[in-house]
């Protein structure tokens, strides 16, 4: 008996697959622009364009796409979903659930996850630069007189791309899917046209060509793995964007269109090179007929802009998750769509990325030079992903299936390590760049986490327990005034400093007191019915604990609205509700708990952090901030 999907479900899956093409596969889909050319020319002693070399490299690329992308990411890693969400931070949160809190193993898992996330920023800088540069280098194929304009044109396109981020990508995003469908179809057609002239090139699908190439060029083959990895640098995006499109849509798009188109194009470039070795100067664009060169440059530029958009949006999402998990100070965040909550814009991140990308283009000047810097961050993240997958996946398997799974994952881990080791050779040529960007981001995130922990410890020193304090206040209350006072506090079991300061200086208490704590869970989303917990601490004292996922944004007005539904006697009239917050001024102590430069960095970040009123969407005209000075 055959099983078929309902028509509505099938059409919805088709729409999601189309959308996934526009967001998920932009990076890996534009890799044919430069990968094969880089493999054959990047070495200090370029390989001669002969059948043995071309087919050996094609075999390495093909089996890399099969093993690394298809088997590891599309089939295995996509199973590691955190309530439907993917990505290195979601995987880290899943792994932390399976380790004892506060243990050494948990600290290592957290450090690995954050370092993997930090490396994403290096990728976010290099991807727009190498993608747009490689597309506009097609101008040089049209006429070498246009070569001097490649770098200025690239910078102009990139500046335009970053400027429109503030407008949002909702309207442009609808075009991404159809444009990438056209792109992949043309990739396949260009490849087929060349393969027909030399069908023997398809024999390179046999792994024997890769083994023979490695046997005859052992040392060079290891070096070339650093260039081969360019063919699947967008693999992490498959996993990171799972929450937006779902596992079935991503898998269907990959096996149905993306993988066949990429393989056909790479093999078509190989066929062209064997028939005319002189085309090595740009095999991708020279596959196209002369009349199609200009349209191909235009289409390639659009495709690379789409690929760049995916990593820019990913940088915003990664930063937002880091903020919610407590690894980044609060930053300005703007929603660019009224319907899609995931479409956000972060000005500070946007302009820092633009500056870094433009400097990169000016420094490296060509995609061939940038290829030396590309791959190290990606392969390091691949290694971390596989390590975390060992912890998260396979727990439900037993016996032979568990053993088979561990063997497969071990083989994939060893291949990741091999690719990473090969990319380490690129460090002197530019590979240091994404590593430096990643290390800077990692240092910032870990410093913020450590600083917030020390600050919390200092604030908790000598704090009064909440229950006993409430009882004493109700038995002998100070002067009471009308209205509701909401005290924002990070601790749910001690008296907020803002309340103590208010009693000390104003010597009054509102008739209703609410202690509000907003906390982040290690899941991406928390269902609304599980969001709010209300406790009655006394006749006029209440405690509200609101829990959000690390992909969500706290919203105090929404919390209060839901609280009113659950506790009808609590009414938050806008003009009768006051919000009391503590504002800490951080100063370096004589004997700081962390090194002086880290204390300085933490203090700088704290001063430039977005105010709590803006971050929590609190009406600013109803806020009273009580200042306190803390030494760390």
pLDDT tens track for 564-605? 999 888 889 888 899 998 877 777 766 667 788 888 888 889
Instruction: Yes or no: say if 320 and 342 are a contact pair by the CB < 8 Å rule.
Output: no
Question: What number of other Cβ atoms are within 10 A of residue 395's Cβ?
Answer: 9
C-alpha 320/C-alpha 135 separation (Å) is: 31
Residues of the chain with pLDDT under 50: 1-7
Exposure string for 413-438, b = 16+ CB within 10 A, e = fewer: bebbeebbebbeebeeebbebbbebb
C-alpha 168/C-alpha 402 separation (Å) is: 45
Contacts for 238 with CB less than 8 Å, ≥ 6 apart: 24, 69, 73, 74, 77, 78, 250, 254
- CA atoms in the 13 A half-sphere facing the CB of 348: 12
C-alpha 588/C-alpha 95 separation (Å) is: 35
Instruction: Yes or no: say if 242 and 84 are a contact pair by the CB < 8 Å rule.
Output: yes
Instruction: Give the pLDDT confidence score for residue 122 in this predicted structure.
Output: 86
C-alpha 152/C-alpha 354 separation (Å) is: 15
Judging by DSSP bridges, how do beta strands 344-345 and 532-536 pair with one another?
unpaired
Cα dihedral sign for 570, 519, 93, 246?
A: positive
C-alpha 245/C-alpha 84 separation (Å) is: 9
C-alpha 450/C-alpha 316 separation (Å) is: 22
Contacts for 519 with CB less than 8 Å, ≥ 6 apart: 545, 546, 547, 548
DSSP annotation of 317:
H
pTM (2 d.p.): 0.83
C-alpha 210/C-alpha 45 separation (Å) is: 19
Instruction: Give the pLDDT confidence score for residue 337 in this predicted structure.
Output: 61
Q: Is 375 left (phi over 0), alpha (psi -120 to 50) or beta?
A: left
Locate tokens 């503030």: which residue? 166
DSSP string for 69-136? IIIIIIIIGGG--BTTB-SHHHHHHHHHHTS-TTSHHHHHHHHHHHHHHHHHHHHHHHHHHHHHHHHH
pLDDT one-digit tens code per residue, 406-425:
899 999 999 999 999 998 88
Q: What percent of the chain has pLDDT over 90?
A: 29
- Give me the torsion for CA of 487, 488, 493, 496, rounded to 10°: -60
C-alpha 123/C-alpha 435 separation (Å) is: 10
- CA atoms in the 13 A half-sphere facing the CB of 297: 19
Phi and psi for 556 in degrees, rounded to 5?
A: -65, -45
Instruction: Give the pLDDT confidence score for residue 1 in this predicted structure.
Output: 38
Domains of the chain, by residue range, sit at 12-127+170-304+375-450, 465-631
Instruction: Give the pLDDT confidence score for residue 366 in this predicted structure.
Output: 83
């Amino acid at each position: 008996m055959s099983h078929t999907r309902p028509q509505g479900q099938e059409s919805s899956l088709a729409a999601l697959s189309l959308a996934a093409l526009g967001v998920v596969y932009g990076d890996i889909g534009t890799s044919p622009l430069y990968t094969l050319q880089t493999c054959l020319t990047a070495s200090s002693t370029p390989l001669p364009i002969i059948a043995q070399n071309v087919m050996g490299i094609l075999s390495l690329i093909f089996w890399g796409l099969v093993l690394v992308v298809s088997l590891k990411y599309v089939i295995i890693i996509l199973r590691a979903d955190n309530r439907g969400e993917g990505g290195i931070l979601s995987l880290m949160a899943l792994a932390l659930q399976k380790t004892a809190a506060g243990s050494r193993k948990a600290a290592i898992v957290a450090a690995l996850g954050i370092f993997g996330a930090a490396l994403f920023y290096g990728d976010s800088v290099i991807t727009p630069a190498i993608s747009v540069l490689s597309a506009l280098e097609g101008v040089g194929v049209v006429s070498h007189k246009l070569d001097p304009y490649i770098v200025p044109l690239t910078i102009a396109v990139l500046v335009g791309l970053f400027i429109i981020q503030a407008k949002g990508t909702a309207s442009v995003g609808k075009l991404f899917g159809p444009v990438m469908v056209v792109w992949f179809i043309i990739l396949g057609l260009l490849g087929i046209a060349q393969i027909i002239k030399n069908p023997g090139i398809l024999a390179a699908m046999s792994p024997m060509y890769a083994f023979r190439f490695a046997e005859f060029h052992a040392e060079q083959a290891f070096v070339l793995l650093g260039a081969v990895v360019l063919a699947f640098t967008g693999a992490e995006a498959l996993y990171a964007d799972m929450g937006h499109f779902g596992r079935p849509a991503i898998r269907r798009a990959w096996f149905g269109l993306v993988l066949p188109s990429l393989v056909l194009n790479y093999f078509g470039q190989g066929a062209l090179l064997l028939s005319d070795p002189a085309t090595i100067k740009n095999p991708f664009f020279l596959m196209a007929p002369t009349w199609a060169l200009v349209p191909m440059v235009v289409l390639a530029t659009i495709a690379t802009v789409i690929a760049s958009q995916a990593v820019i949006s990913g940088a915003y999402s990664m930063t937002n998750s880091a903020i919610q998990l407590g690894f980044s100070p609060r930053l300005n965040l703007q929603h660019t769509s009224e319907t899609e909550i995931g479409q956000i814009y972060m000005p500070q991140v946007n302009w820092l990325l633009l500056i870094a990308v433009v400097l990169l283009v000016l420094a490296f000047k060509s995609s061939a030079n940038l290829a030396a810097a590309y791959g190290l961050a990606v392969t390091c993240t691949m290694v971390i992903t596989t390590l975390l997958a060992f912890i998260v996946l396979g727990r439900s398997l037993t016996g032979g299936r568990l053993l088979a799974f561990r063997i497969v994952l071990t083989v994939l881990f060893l291949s990741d390590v091999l690719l990473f080791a090969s990319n380490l050779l690129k460090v002197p040529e530019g590979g240091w760049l994404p590593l430096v960007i990643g290390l800077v981001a990692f240092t910032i995130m870990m410093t913020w986490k450590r600083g917030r922990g020390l600050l919390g410890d200092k604030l908790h020193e000598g704090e009064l327990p909440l229950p006993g304090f409430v009882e004493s206040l109700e038995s002998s209350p100070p002067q009471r005034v009308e209205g509701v006072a909401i005290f924002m506090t990070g601790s749910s079991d001690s008296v907020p400093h803002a309340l103590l300061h208010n009693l000390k200086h104003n010597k009054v208490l509102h008739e209703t007191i609410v202690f509000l704590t907003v906390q982040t869970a290690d899941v991406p989303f928390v269902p609304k019915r599980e969001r709010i917990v209300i406790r009655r601490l006394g006749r006029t004292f209440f405690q509200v604990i609101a829990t959000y996922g690390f992909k969500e944004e706290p919203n105090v007005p929404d919390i209060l609205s839901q609280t009113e539904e659950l506790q009808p006697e609590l009414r938050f009239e806008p003009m009768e509700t006051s919000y009391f917050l503590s504002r800490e001024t951080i100063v370096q102590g004589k004997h700081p708990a962390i090194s002086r430069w880290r204390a300085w960095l933490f203090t700088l970040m704290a001063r430039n952090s977005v105010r709590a009123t803006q971050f929590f969407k609190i009406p600013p005209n109803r806020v009273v901030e009580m200042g306190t000075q803390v030494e760390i």
